[in-house]
Amino acid sequence: MANKPPYALSSEAVLKQEQTSLTGLTKEAAQTRLNENGPNELAQAEKKGMLARFLDQFKDFMIIVLLVAALIAGFLLSEWADAGIILAVVLLNAVFGVFQESKAEEAIDALKEMSTPNAHVRRGDQVLTIPSSQLVLGDIVLLEAGDVVPADLRLVESANLKIEESALTGESVPVDKTTAPLDADDVGIGDRTNMAFMNSNITYGRGVGVVIATGMQTEVGRIAGMINSAEETNTPLQENLKSLGKTLTVMILVIAVIVFAVGIWRQAASLPEMFLTAVSLAVAAIPEGLPAIVTIILALGTQKMAKRHALVRKLPAVETLGSTDIIASDKTGTLTQNKMTVEKVYYDGQLNDASAGIHGGNPLMTIMNFANDTQVQDDGKLLGDPTETALVAYGKTQNYDVAKALTGEPRIAEVPFDSERKLMTTVHRRADGKLLVATKGAPDELLKRVTDLATGENTAPLSDSERDAILKANKDMATQALRVLGMAYKVIDTLPEKVDSDTVENHMIFAGLVGMIDPERPEAEAAVAEAKAAGIRPMMITGDHRDTAEAIAVRLGIIDQGDDDAVITGAELDQQSDDEFAKNVAKYSVYARVAPEHKVRIVNAWQKKGKVVAMTGDGVNDAPALKAADIGIGMGITGTEVSKGASDMVLADDNFATIVVAVEEGRKVFSNIQKAIQYLLSANLGEVLTLFMMTMLGWDLLAPVHILWINLVTDTFPAIALGVEPTEPGIMKQKPRGRKSNFFSGGVGPAVIWQGILEGLLTLGVYWIAITYPVHSGSAAIHADALTMAYATLGLIQLFHAFNVKSIHQSLFTVGAFRNKAFNWAILASFVLLAVTILVPGFNGLFHVTSLDWHQWITVLGAGVAMIVIVEIVKVFERARRKQRA
């Protein structure tokens, strides 16, 4: 007996096991247990101090490289402006990183705040109100409607007790509670009907329970422990940036060493000058603005998402959404409306859609509104059990005024709902003095008490064939996962001396059946279809019953009709080892009656297959999986603060369709980051190649000031502007790029290389033209003009190339050269900053350049135009090849 879980034991056995009784613990015993086990509170992982968090931000390899570059730029090259920009970028990223970490710790804080402050307990046969933190094992807790359960309890008394557990189990409606022991030893949390769990809400009735777990030993405590122990995973964006930083740094350092060595060998400059040139090349080649540019692009993406009801809490999540392979969505409130709704009605022998209507005089309409405890507030809002409010709400759609009807036929007696007989009855006094008995409940139980059938305005004895027809209609609705209630009534002359089930719930007239469900959101089906078209696999994970989950999944198009193998329950999942589940995970698209650890297993199984997983959730039970997923998506309306705190993004409208919108925005963000990287790296490669070839050919070298200024004015503004390029058509027809893809995927890597080489060759070509066909005479003047033209070409050609990368594959003229106003202004600003150094007296001396005549400017501009023309021609061949492969 001792080894059995509390829900499998009788009430007496649980009391004996906890060494207590219904009169409660003595104050001395309670104090002893409190000293032994500690307070009924959730533990929290040790927090890092603000300084430690700040210093952690500088452990990234790319950040270390940037800090070294800043020191070199400042102390060796005296380029303090460049050094200042690099340091500002690094500090900005560090501050933002600390902010992100602080937000992430809100999950446990919110979980603690959910705990009820006080509890009503029986100690020494006295009822006391004590802080819930003082509860101990064996305490007897009294529960009534409106209370929050203060600890995990085994119920020993229950009077029509209903508990809303959706935040913990995912169950969409309040659960009827009993006290009888459950047969099995491995009952899922959602089916433990004789248990009450910490932080769940009492919605109806009253009960008494014995505390069997407190603090971190409760179900909520287990979830808190899972949140505390969950490892933070890097997003694909963070992994890509880390890999990119290491690769670039190694390549740049190797090239800088080669340039320095060859320059000394060719005696291109003195040793100090050559060292400064190599260092300036390395500093310029490192895309120091990349972290800031990525941050800005992500931030702009979050603003656009917010306008479309997706609130991003962690910046990298914006881009990660674009790589999503799996969307594991909660059902209630996300795929469905989180509102029980009448969908089918059966009366007069016919099963009809609810939209067909029921006239107010039909007894079915009367009974569903009379045998009902829903309260209608002055503002029309309905309060009560979701099933009952759905019946009254349906009556309102049929212009049935329940308040007016009850005024004419007031309730004078009732037999409350009981979970054993599964019926509820109210008695009403009619205008003629007779009494109307209205009963609703489980159809099977109701039919045991029915002798007649209402058809229109007439009644007649219920035949066997009619009884069979009612049972068939009940089964038809149940197979569609509808929650079915039967309605019956009778008219009596006087009120029995004792009003109970035996005296009033007999010889009744059957009025009809009502089928209800929490229906899917109208836009969810289209969103599921769009996700599938984008190569994303939508899945449903819910605490609801298997039949309900399967029916909604079929209606939404997540699975096909009859595809039972795609549905699995938490209990069935428990029977599979991690290895077995890893082999079978691709079979399942619907998970029903799941526990928190199941959700984490599902996320982990897909991640091990290399998939990027987005997980939605609104309850406390979802928090561990939200934290484990690549993208945790909380619900803004129905979500608990715990789930929001553990999430990367919050849906302001709790709508699955918003996730698909966010995925589209995420894909656009990645595409734009890719464009910025293509632009930055091809430009930097052009600079490296130009200096390298000048060194190899023994030509005069561009000075460090030239390289650093070009890098400063042509990199930042255009790259940021590329981050706000409009979404390219067809982006949601592409398959997810996958976790293994990187910034060089999709042809970007080869494009960076050949376009960087092209930039370098065009620049070198202009230098050669200037030397071969000089405008001025004299060796010094010729070389000064050539360097100036090379400097102007290298800068302008990058600005021209920015137009090329507005689309990686599409033609510039297809995407629109001047659609992006921010881009137009960025190019203009960069051009002015570059032109000032050549055209404005004083600056040209500072930058060691000369004024150019119009012939020379035509040559420079011609190289820029050639850059666009050549890239456009190559794109034509690339598109033809891609089309041929497809």
Which pLDDT does position 669 carry in this prediction?
Answer: 83
Q: Which amino acid is at 841?
A: P
H/E element, 870: helix 854-885
- H-helix segments, 154-268: 166-169, 219-229, 236-266
- What amino acid occupies position 489? Y
Quick check: 767 pLDDT over 50?
yes
What is the average pLDDT across 607-620?
A: 85
Beta carbons within 10 angstroms of residue 589's beta carbon: 21
How far apart CA 464 and CA 455 sit, in angstroms, is: 16
The pTM for the full model equals 0.68
In this prediction, residue 114 has a pLDDT band, given cuts at 50, 70 and 90, of very low
The pair of structure tokens assigned to 48 is 């890092």
Q: Which residue has the tokens 């007696």?
A: 413
- Sequence-ordered list of residues with C-beta below 8 angstroms from that of 606, at least 6 positions apart, any chain: 325, 326, 328, 585, 613
Bridge partner list, 155: 209
Asked whether residue 8 carries a pLDDT value surpassing 50, the answer given is yes
CA 176 to chain centre: 31
Asked whether 631 and 648 are in contact (CB, 8 A), the reply is yes
The residue-averaged pLDDT of 656-663 equals 87
Give the CATH H-level superfamily of domain 323-337+521-655.
HAD superfamily/HAD-like (3.40.50.1000)
Six token digits for residue 341:
């709704």
Mean pLDDT of 794-802: 92
Q: Using 50, 70 and 90 to split pLDDT, how confident is the model at 45?
A: low
pLDDT tier at 107, thresholds 50, 70, 90? very low
Q: How many CB atoms lie within 10 A of CB 685?
A: 23
Q: State the pLDDT at residue 227.
A: 66
Which tokens in the block code for residue 854? 């119009």
Q: What is the DSSP letter of 701?
A: P
Q: Which residue has the higher pLDDT, 240 or 671?
A: 671
For residues 616 and 461, which has the higher predicted lDDT (pLDDT)?
Answer: 461
Neighbouring residues of 629: CB distance < 8 A, sequence distance ≥ 6? 328, 603, 613, 614, 615
β-strand partners of 691:
none
Instruction: Give the three-class secondary structure for 569.
Output: strand
539 to 181, 528, 545: CA distances (angstroms) = 34, 9, 16
- Work out the angle at residue 320's Cα, subtended by the Cα atoms of residues 318 and 325, and round it to the nearest 5 degrees: 130
Per-residue pLDDT band for 14 (boundaries 50, 70, 90) equals very high
Whether residue 509 contacts residue 475, with contact meaning beta carbons closer than 8 Å, is answered with no
Least confident segment among 190-194, 282-286, 358-362, 610-614: 282-286
The predicted model gives 844-851 an average pLDDT of: 79
- Active site amino acids: 330
* Residue 778 reports pLDDT greater than 90: no
Q: What is the mean pLDDT of the chain?
A: 83
How many other β-carbons are positioned within 10 Å of the β-carbon of residue 789?
26
pLDDT confidence of residue 538 = 94
- For the residues 788-797, what does the mean pLDDT come to? 92
Look at residue 590 in the predicted model and tell me its pLDDT.
94
pLDDT greater than 90 at residue 209 = yes
Q: What is the spatial distance between Cα 783 and Cα 788, in angstroms, rounded to a whole number?
A: 8
Q: How confident is the model at residue 167 (pLDDT cuts 50, 70, 90)?
A: low
Which pLDDT score, from 0 to 100, does residue 73 have?
Answer: 60
Q: What does the pLDDT look like over 546-576, one tens digit per residue?
A: 888 898 999 999 999 888 899 999 889 999 9
**Which listed CATH number (1.10.20.60, 2.60.40.1250, 1.20.1110.10, 3.40.720.10) goes with 236-319+661-885?**
1.20.1110.10
Is there a common fold for 6-44+111-229 and 342-515?
Answer: no
| Between 554 and 172, the higher pLDDT residue | 554
Residue 228: the pLDDT is: 63
Average pLDDT, integer, range 76-96: 62
The pLDDT value recorded for residue 99 is: 58
Dihedral over alpha carbons 411, 413, 416, 417 (to 10 degrees)? -60
Q: How far is CA 349 from CA 355, 454, 481, in A?
A: 17, 9, 21
Domain definitions of the chain by residue range: 6-44+111-229, 50-104, 236-319+661-885, 323-337+521-655, 342-515
Class for the domain spanning 6-44+111-229: mainly beta
**Helix (H), strand (E) at residue 478:** helix 464-479
Contact 85, 293 (CB under 8 A): no
Per-residue pLDDT at 368: 96
pLDDT of 234 higher than 90: no
Residue type, 594: V
| Per-residue pLDDT, 79 | 60
- The CATH code that applies to domain 342-515 is 3.40.1110.10
Band of the pLDDT at 644, cuts 50, 70, 90?
confident
Neighbours of 587 (CB within 10 A): 11
Residue the block writes with tokens 């999709």? 746
Q: What is the pLDDT of residue 104?
A: 39
What string of DSSP letters covers 376-390? Answer: E-TTS-EES-HHHHH
Residue 100's pLDDT band (cuts 50, 70, 90): very low
pLDDT value at residue 137: 94
d(CA 61, CA 52): 18
Task: For residue 481, give the DSSP letter.
Answer: T
Q: Kindly tell me if the per-residue pLDDT of 259 is higher than 80.
A: no
Q: Which helix (H) or strand (E) holds 106?
A: helix 106-114
Contacts of 446 (CB under 8 A, 6+ apart): 423, 439, 440, 486, 487, 488, 508, 510
* Percent share of the chain, pLDDT over 90: 33
Average pLDDT over residues 735-760: 83
Chain-centre distance of CA 530, in angstroms? 17
Cα 480 to Cα 486: distance, rounded to the nearest angstrom: 16
661-680 average pLDDT score: 86
> How far is 86 from 704, CA to CA, in rounded Å?
17
pLDDT of 685 reads 84
Please spell the DSSP secondary structure of 488-554, one letter per residue.
EEEEESS--SS-SHHHHSSSEEEEEEEEEE-PBPTTHHHHHHHHHHTT-EEEEE-SS-HHHHHHHHH
Q: For residues 323-345, give the mean pLDDT.
A: 88
Bigger pLDDT: 411 vs 645: 411
The residue type at 282: A
- In this predicted structure, the answer to whether residue 428 has a pLDDT above a threshold of 60 is yes
Backbone angles phi, psi at 518, to 5 degrees: -85, 100
Position 108 scores a pLDDT of 38
- Assign residue 328 a region (left: φ > 0; alpha: ψ between -120 and 50; beta: otherwise): beta
At residue 580, the pLDDT reads: 92
Closest of 334, 337, 330 to residue 519, by C-alpha: 337
Backbone dihedral region of 848: left (phi > 0), alpha (psi from -120 to 50 degrees) or beta?
Answer: left
Tokens of 459: 């009644």
pLDDT(841) > 70: yes
pLDDT at residue 776 tops 50: yes
pLDDT at 51 over 80: no
What are the residues whose beta carbons fall under 8 Å from the beta carbon of 545, sequence distance 6 or more?
Answer: 481, 592, 593
How far apart (Å, rounded) are the C-alpha atoms in residues 230 and 222?
A: 12
Alpha helix stretches (DSSP H) within 575-630: 578-584, 596-608, 623-628
Average pLDDT of span 708-730: 80
Q: Is the pLDDT of residue 879 over 50?
A: yes
pLDDT at 413: 94
pLDDT at 85 (0 to 100): 56
Nearest residue to 488 via CA among 551, 550, 540, 443: 443
Write the CA distances from 302 to 108, 209, 730, integer angstroms. Answer: 25, 47, 22
pLDDT score, position 268:
66
pLDDT of residue 825: 92
Q: What is the pLDDT of residue 346?
A: 95
Residues 715, 680 contacting (CB under 8 angstroms): yes
- Euclidean distance between CA atoms 629 and 235, whole angstroms: 10
Question: What are the pLDDT digits (tens) for 495-546?
Answer: 999 999 999 999 999 999 999 998 888 888 999 999 999 999 999 988 788 8
Query: Which of 57-61, 396-400, 634-638, 803-807 has the lowest average pLDDT?
Result: 57-61
What per-residue confidence (pLDDT) applies to 184?
A: 75
**In angstroms, what CA-CA distances link 528 with 100, 539, 788?**
31, 9, 58
Which residue did the predictor score with more confidence, 480 or 319? 480
Between 594 and 754, the higher pLDDT residue = 754
Most confident by average pLDDT, 51-55, 484-488, 682-686: 484-488
Instruction: Please report how the helices 524-533 and 546-556 are oriented relative to each other, as an axis angle in degrees rounded to 10.
Output: 70
Q: How far apart are CA 773 and CA 856, in angstroms?
A: 10
- Measure the N-to-C terminal CA separation of the chain; round to a whole number of Å: 66
